[in-house]
Amino acid sequence: MSINILMPALSPTMKEGTLARWLKAEGDTIAAGDVIAEIETDKATMEVEAVDEGILGRILIEGGTHGIAVNTPIAILVAQGESVPEAPASPAPAAAASAPAAVVATPAVAAQPVPAAADKGKGRRVFASPLARRIAAQKGIDLASLKGSGPNGRIVRRDVEQAAVAPAPKAAAPVATVEEAGFESIPHTTMRKVIARRLTESKSTVPHFYVEMDVELDALLALRSQMNAASPDEGPGAYKISVNDMLIKAAAVTLRRVPQVNVSFTEEAMRIYEDVDISVAVSIPDGLITPIVRKADTKSLRQISLETRDLVARARAGKLKPEEFQGGTFSISNMGMYGVKAFSAILNPPQAAILAIAAGERRPVVKGNEITIATVMTVTLSVDHRVVDGALAAQWVSAFRKVVENPMSLVV
C-alpha cells in the first residue's frame, strides 16, 4: 500500500515551510534514514530523513515551492512493483468511517463547478431581449450599465434607446498622478515571515522596559589578552577567546547572582529557570537566528569560545538542529563590531530579558578628581515589565558591570 510523505513540522512555531529541494528523484529506492529533501523552516534549512522504505513513486510538490502547510502530502512512497497512484493515499479507514459523507462528496465537488464561483469577476448576469442586445451592439452601449424596465428587470428596446439619446456623463476632472519609483519585489522567506510575526507580537503585547549603563572594559580586555597569549598556536588545545565569549560568560554569572531575571511570564505563574541557557543573536542572510549556549554559567571561557564558534558557523550554513536554537532563558545581541554606540533590543518571547551590547570605545572618565581615558561600552537591558520590575533590572545591570569590570570571577 502506498504511503504519503507529509510536510513535517520541524519546529514548534512552524505552520508552513518551503520545500527547498528534493535530494531524491522519482523512481529512486529509499531506505529508512535516507535524506530525501531539504525543508526551509522558520529558523533554518534542514534535511528531512525518510521514516519508511520503498520507491519514491511520485513527487507531488516540486522543489522551490513556498507556503506548504504542515502535514500536506508532498510525495508518494510505494513498494517494489506496486503501481503508483495519481493522488495521495486515502485517509486511514478509521478516519474515513467517521466521516463517510465527506469522502463521497469530494469527487462530486471536483466534477461539478459551482456556477456562482465561475461568474465571479465577470460581473452580474445581464437579462435583455434579443432586440435590445442587437440595438446595444449597434450603438456601442454596455448593457451591464443599464437598468431594465421590463418584467423581472429585463432590459428591453426602450431602455437601450433612452440610453442612446441620454447626455453623456460629465468627464471627471483629471487627477494628478505621481510617478512611482521603480522597485523589485522579493518574496518573503518563511524565516522572514516568522521574524516579522514574532517581533510584532513581542513589541505589541509585551510591555518593554529599558535600563542603560556604561561599563568599562579595560580589565576584561587585559585578561583576554593574557588568556589568548597562553593558548598553543595550533592543535586541539588551541583557542582564541573573543570579547563576546567573555560577555556571554559574564551574563551567565550575573544571572546566577540575580536569578530573578532568569524567568518568563505565563498567564498562570512566573517561571524561574534552573539552568542558564544564553541565546546568542546571529545575523544570517535570511534574517536572524539565536543558537543557544546551554548552562553557560558552568562552562569555561575556552568551552564557550569553541562552542559559540561552532554554533555560529553552522547557523550561517543553515545546519543547526532544532534543539540548538529552540528554548533559551536569556538573550544577547552584540552589535559592537559595527561601531554602534547604543541600541535597544526587542524581547525574544517567552524570555523576559535581552542584553543589547554596543561598541567599546575610548572615552574620558572621571575617577576621583581626575579625568582619565578608559575603554567604555554601553549596554541596554530590555525586560518584560510583567515579571521584571525596574529596580530589579537596574540591580541586574549593576551586577553585570561589576562582573565585567572585575573579570576574575569569569575564570575562578
Nearest to 259 by CA among 249, 270, 273, 279: 273
Residue 381: domain span:
207-410
Q: Is residue 352 part of a domain?
A: yes
Using one digit for the tens of pLDDT, what is the confidence trace for 307-355?
Answer: 999 999 999 988 888 899 999 999 999 999 999 999 999 999 999 999 9
- At 400, which CATH number? 3.30.559.10
Averaged confidence pLDDT in the chain: 84
Q: Which of 29, 53, 78 is the last residue of a domain?
A: 78
Amino acid letter, 246 = M
* Residue 384 cell numbers, joined: 518584560
Closest CA to 220 of 252, 251, 247: 247
Residue 145 belongs to a domain: no
115 vs 379, higher pLDDT: 379
Helices (H), 47-98: 93-98
User: Is residue 192, in this structure, part of any structural domain at all?
Assistant: no
Provide CB contacts within 8 A for 371, sequence distance 6+.
364, 365
The whole-number average pLDDT for the span 382-390 is: 97
Q: Is residue 333 included in any domain, yes or no? A: yes
Residues 228 and 372 in one domain: yes
Question: With 60 as the cut, is the pLDDT of residue 119 above it?
Answer: no
Catalytic residue among 66, 188, 208, 385: 385
pTM confidence score = 0.65
90 pLDDT band, cuts 50/70/90, is low
CATH label of the domain that carries residue 44 = 2.40.50.100
In this prediction, residue 118 carries a pLDDT of: 35
Q: Rounded distance, CA 122 to CA 24, Å?
A: 44
Is residue 271 domain-resident?
yes
How many other C-beta atoms are found inside a 10 Å radius of the C-beta of residue 281?
Answer: 18
Residue 220 lies in a domain: yes
Of 78, 98, 116, which residue is a domain's last?
A: 78
Q: Is 66 a known active-site residue? A: no
- Decide which of 56, 78, 100 is a domain's last residue: 78
How many angstroms separate the CA atoms of 355 and 247, rounded? 10
Res. 40 pLDDT band, cuts 50 70 90: confident
Judged by average pLDDT, the poorest of 120-134, 182-196, 241-255 is 120-134
C-alpha cell belonging to residue 231: 593558548
pLDDT at 158 over 70: yes
Cell of 327: 528554548
31 within some domain: yes
The Cα 227–Cα 229 span in angstroms is: 5
Contact predicate 311/291, CB 8 Å: yes
Please write the tens of the pLDDT for every residue from 259-311.
999 999 999 999 999 999 999 999 988 889 999 999 999 999 999 999 999 99
Whether residue 110 has pLDDT greater than 60: no
In a domain, 263, yes or no: yes
pLDDT at 32: 80
User: Is the same domain home to 72 and 221?
Assistant: no
Q: What is the average pLDDT across 188-213? A: 91
Q: How many domains does the chain contain in total?
A: 2
- pLDDT for the residue numbered 96: 37
Residue type, 381: L
